[in-house]
Structure 1
Amino acid sequence: MAEESGRGDHAFPQAQREGLYRAIHERRDVRAQFLPDPIPPEVLARLLEAAHHAPSVGFMQPWDFLVIDSLAVRERVHGIFQRENAKAAEHYSGDRGETYRRLKLEGILESPINLCITCDRARGGEHVLGRNSIVETDLFSTCLAVQNLWLAARAEGIGVGWVSILDQDELAEVLGLPEQVYPLAYLCLGYVSEFLEQPELARSGWRQRLPLAELVHGSGWGEPLADEALHEALAEVARS
């Protein structure tokens, strides 16, 4: 007799579910813990394959991947970071400024591999299914590729750091990108000495994680949840 269909038919086994949630909760933006050990080609290939399997609106797959092992290129990118970081530091003064200047915000030269994930804004042609109303969906789709790679990297024991303090026009020039290709994410990848228990910015006191229960609304902004059981479940998750 065929088994009856049920809501759990397509769920992963418990150990696999726990592994997925562990990767999500233990993922970190790594800056200072990189080891010099190279990433084996087969492992890097798995990470890129995971990124390539991200969802994309209209199945446009707007991403490309630049695997940057050239020290000369990385030094040029590091120079861009240093200039932009100095500009960013001007926004903070006093204790906040001192804290900012102590933060390690990149691992461009320390990590064995830099990876730039780009977004080809012309991929798929002039009319992409599902993109007519929200043209930025190509950028959103590429962000999903970044997240896929990040979670797969955590499962492989590899740290990832996103360097966002860069002038994107200068970066595009350094990497020789075509005009329609946007350098969405510049990432540092490598094995690490440790994964921090807390995100670096939380540990340093810069900013803490917001309570999830305060961010979940009902059918309209600011409306309470109609489902009391969900409200209780959110409170339980916060306590765990």
Structure 2
Amino acid sequence: MEFVEVVRRRRMVRNYDPDRPVPPEVVDRLLAHAIRAPSAGFSQGWGFLVLETAEDRDRFWAATTPGTGGRERWLAGMRRAPLIIVPHANRSAYLERYAEPDKGWADRSEKHWSMPYWYIDTGFAALLMLLTAVDEGLGACFFGIPPQRLEDYRMAFGVPLEYEPVGAVTIGYRASDQRSPSLRRGRRPVDEVVRRGRWN
């Protein structure tokens, strides 16, 4: 598929065919592409938890979504995804990398950072997985884990404290689903969001 078509077709998919697993070689490509994402100082401070078995997926949903408060319809389709990948950011990998002699921030202070690039770079990696899914003929959806459920998620999967989940990605073969109400807003045109030379 041409790259322009991959970008055009990318959307958040919220319903999957539960009877079609993602082939192992495709899972490998999703992860191989994710680690091609840019990272500050080539820190590569990310980690990916791959959940493929029904048991692991059920444990993920139990830990992250009890008491969903009216979101059951949305979750019904999401829970059919045969694959969940949780990208994590590791801040300490960045602080350690930038303490090395070629960077020189030996105090490992976050005050040197204008933005938390450990989250941004992990987001880049997640986006590459979303685009790879489209290229492979799959659907995918990136979504957040509620903050009040993070401790349960960590406990369920033994995630070390230095790894922070930036969200989760469901992946699988798309099934028909309802058009998201958010899409009614329409895509903002380029001339509304781009400024050239000066902001005003």
With the length of structure 1 as denominator, give the TM-score of the two structures: 0.68
Provide the C-alpha distance between the structure 2 equivalents of 1:145 and 1:60, rounded to a whole number of angstroms: 13
Aligned to 2:14: 31
5 Å-filtered alignment, 1:1-240, equals 19-79=2-62, 80-83=64-67, 85-86=68-69, 104=74, 107-128=77-98, 129=103, 132-166=112-146, 167-193=149-175, 200-203=180-183, 205=184, 207-221=185-199, 223=200
Aligned mates of 2:32, 2:131 — CA distance in 1: 12
| Contact 1:172/1:182 (8 A) holds in 2 | no
Give 2:52's aligned amino acid.
D
How far residue 208 of structure 1 moved from its aligned partner, in angstroms, is 2.5
Cα drift, residue 146 of structure 1: 0.5
Distance 2:93 2:82 in 1: 30
Larger Rg: 1
Partner of 1:93: none
CA contact (8 A) 1:36 1:190 kept: no
Counterpart Cα distance in 2 of 1:24 and 1:107? 23
Deviation at 1:141, TM superposition (A): 0.4
Q: Summarize deviations over 1:65-114 as a string: whole Å, max 9, x none.
A: 1111243332233233242x32xx6xxxxxxxxxxx58625744311111
| Higher RCO (CA 8 Å, separation ≥ 6 residues) | 2
1:92 aligned residue: none
Q: Which stretch shifts more, 162-171 or 19-28?
A: 162-171
Supply the RMSD in Å over aligned alpha carbons: 2.7
Give 5+ residue unaligned stretches, structure 2.
none
Q: Percent identity?
A: 27
**Closer/same/farther in 2, CA of residues 219 and 152 from structure 1, 3 Å limit:** same
Normalising to structure 2: TM-score of the pair?
0.80
Aligned partners of 1:161 and 1:189 also within 8 Å? yes
**SS at 2:38 equivalent:** coil
Tell me the alpha carbon deviations over residues 21-74 of structure 1, each in whole angstroms, 9 at most, x when there is no partner: 111110111111434211111111111101010111110111111111243332
Judged with a 3 Å threshold, the aligned counterparts in structure 2 of structure 1 residues 165 and 124 are, in CA distance, closer, same or farther, namely closer
Return the letter of the residue paired with 2:192: E
Distance 2:158 2:60 in 1: 12
- Unmatched 5+ residue regions in structure 1? 1-15, 90-100, 224-240
Number of residue pairs matched?
187
